[in-house]
Structure 1
Amino acid sequence: MSYIVDVSPSEQDIAEIHAALIEFNRPHLEGISHDPLACYYLVDDVKKAGVIANVRGHWLLLKFFWVAEELRGKGIGAQLLAKLERQAKEMGCRMALVDTLSFQAKPFYEKQGYECQMVLENYPIDTSLYYLTKSLS
């Protein structure tokens, strides 16, 4: 028996632990949806903005949200989010969750109806990480 601290785990190491965790969770989460969902804004067939999310049960989990700098402040992000939320609602979502760092988009999400539920101060060093939710009902 031994313990190993690995400062550079391989993709296989990560996959093994992830697979074991999925197997452990299976009896508790079986039958709950876990579907990817995305919405993009294209200019001449080039992605200039997009949001990547997952639908997990009744929750929309926002993962990545980006708008090209030259397009920020023009309502494109709000439109993307509204379209994504509408689709998530059709897929049975009742709530949405996002996390954002203090230098990112907290005011944007609050304008879209998200409310801060928790803050991690000094994360990862000298910023804050906000967890925000919104009712889609």
Structure 2
Amino acid sequence: MDKINYVVTDTPSDEDIACVRSGIKEHNTPFLKGLFHQDLACFAKDETGAVVGGLVSEIWGSWLEIKFLWVSAKTKGQGVGSEILKRAEEQAKSLGCHSSLLDTFNFQAKPFYEKHGYKVKMTLYDHPVSTERYYMVKELG
């Protein structure tokens, strides 16, 4: 390799992103080969079938990794979020998960997750700007 050109861009091509993902996947495979991985979601729908809350996550090995949990403004305070979280955790546990991981901001749902047994393991201050981001875990038992 004679010359390397470095490109910093805010519009990376799909091909370049795919190349990096492929490279890291190739590197990780010997260490994580055969590791159980699947998506897991839970939705709450009203009588018309409209989604009024939902959780999007993935199971990776023996961990439930919650990406998003949202409840509509009209259903907040009615136990919808708690029920969604409980059902997702139960399903993850039935699939062999021993723990759950998520992150939330100080303006989101930290007290909600604490009420459900999650503990802060790391806090990023001033992230992204003048807010706190919490990484939380829970043993599923």
Considering the TM-score relative to the shorter chain, is it more than 0.5?
Answer: yes
Superposed, 1:9-28 pairs within 5 Å as: 9-28=12-31
Superposed, 1:43-122 pairs within 5 Å as: 43=46, 44-122=48-126
Structure 2: segments with no counterpart, 5+ residues: none
Structure 1: segments with no counterpart, 5+ residues: none
Per the alignment, residue 130 of structure 1 pairs with 134
Report SS of the residue matched to 1:13.
Answer: helix
The Cα shift of 1:11 comes to 2.2
Aligned CA-pair RMSD: 0.7
**How far does the alpha carbon of each residue in 1:31-80 deviate from its partner, in whole angstroms, 9 at most, with x for none?**
11111000000112111100000000010000011100111111100000
Larger radius of gyration: 2
> After the TM superposition, which parts of structure 1 deviate over 3 Å for at least 4 consecutive aligned residues?
none
Structure-2 separation of matches of 1:47 and 1:19? 34
- The answer to whether 1:5 aligns with 2:8 is yes
Structure-2 separation of matches of 1:121 and 1:15? 31
Report SS of the residue matched to 1:60.
Answer: strand
